[in-house]
Amino acid sequence: NAGVMQNPRHLVRRRGQEARLRCSPMKGHSHVYWYRQLPEEGLKFMVYLQKENIIDESGMPKERFSAEFPKEGPSILRIQQVVRGDSAAYFCASSPEQGRAFFGQGTRLTVV
């Protein structure tokens, strides 16, 4: 059973471009969480999804950011018109039910 898979591991975008981050949860996991982490800082919650539903998006900026977890395929975190302040590590975690979440290796986004 492969762990949580995120890709790409590293992503470089110019200001104004779109960034698309993918997360494939562990087999059998239907809950996905996205977190953002700046260097030397904690894990800031962005969004919590179940298949085809957004459960809690209270941590996600209302503009430029969106997330989905379709019936088939990975969860996608999409950042439109990226700015330098979007540079961070974005971690996805999945769980089979409430709690016991396992993290992917993260996508390190650099905006130049």
Residues that bind another protein (CB under 8 A): 33, 35, 41-43, 45, 48, 55-56, 58-59, 91, 93, 95, 98-106
Report the nearest approach of another protein to the CB of residue 63 (Å).
Answer: 21
Q: In whole angstroms, what is the distance from residue 44 CA to residue 49 CA?
A: 15
For another protein, give the closer residue by CB, 17 or 37.
37
Report the nearest approach of another protein to the CB of residue 20 (Å).
Answer: 20
Report the nearest approach of another protein to the CB of residue 74 (Å).
Answer: 17
For another protein, give the closer residue by CB, 14 or 97.
97
Tell whether the torsion through CA atoms of 61, 52, 17 and 93 is positive or negative: positive
- Tell me how long the chain is: 112
Q: In whole angstroms, what is the distance from residue 36 CA to residue 60 CA?
A: 10
